[in-house]
Chains A and B, each alone.
Chain A
Amino acid sequence: MKKVLVCCGSSMITSSVAINKLKEVFKKENIDVTFGQCKFSEVPSMAKTFKPDVIVPTGPLDEKAAGGVPIVRGTSFITGVGEKETVEQILNILKK
């Protein structure tokens, strides 16, 4: 089971949108994924306890916060611009 942590500023609006998009993608790709969702400020602790395979922030996230977990910026799930590339990057990490 792969784990994806999606995070955003604070009110879980953009991260909810991103999770919904990713759910469709993983269903199509037939990959079993557990999602975590949190605020940017909670990423350092979630990186340790949830142990995600990849972190998808909807805005910029300090690399240090991720504790070595790969980050793929997910703003394209909101704008639609570059969404395909973002999906590919995430799938590449999960399929490793």
Chain B
Amino acid sequence: MKISEFFNNELVVTNFDAKCKEDVFDVLYKKLYENGFVKESYLEAIKKREKNFPTGLQLNRYNVAIPHTDPEHVVKPAIAVATLKNPVIFKNMANPLEDVEVSLVFMIALNEEHSQVEMLQQLIQLIQNDVLLEKIIREDGGDGIEKIIKQNSQKLTGGK
């Protein structure tokens, strides 16, 4: 499956006014749950996992977090997106003692382990592309973000 198939304008919030990362988890969980992508247990599982194994990524320009959890909490695979009005603090995946100011969150729901490597490679290429990240951050509304990802899906080759 290509990365564009995982994004859906129903699962996007832009310019979200969050005080902390939990606000982001709550709003994205609500979208995933209401649209039938995850089980009720997903939210607690995400929070617990983030505490044990943080997902903040220190990048060149805009920092990103990729919260995710085990497949048992997921019904259908998807990626929910939040762009933040002001950055919120996540802990660094590379070093949980460090804070990372995150502007963009991709909350991943996958229902099979070891699966979707192609999509994951594309997502990683996306977060390593400053130009694309900036376009996404500046976009207002889910339709625009969905469009950016669909338009650029061909360029994101899945590492092949």
Contact = CB atoms under 8 A, between A and B. Distances in A.
Interface size of B as a range: 20 to 34
Contacts, number: 68
B102 to A, nearest CB: 13
B142 interface: no
B114 A12 contact: yes
Interface string A1-19: 0000000111111101100
A72 to B, nearest CB: 12
Per DSSP, are chain A's interface residues mostly helix, strand or loop, or mixed?
A: mixed
A10 B53 contact: yes
Nearest to A74: B94
Given A11-B68, A59-B93, A79-B59, A17 B121 contact: yes
B52 A16 contact: no
Contact of A80 (B96, B110, B128): B128
A77 B69 CA distance: 19
Interface size of A as a range: 20 to 34
A54 B61 CA distance: 31
B117 A16 contact: yes
B44 to A, nearest CB: 14
A9 B49 contact: yes
A60 B117 contact: no
Contacts of A75: 57, 93-94
A78 interface: yes
Interface of B: 49, 52-54, 57-60, 66, 68-71, 93-96, 108, 110, 113-114, 117, 120-121, 124, 127-128, 159
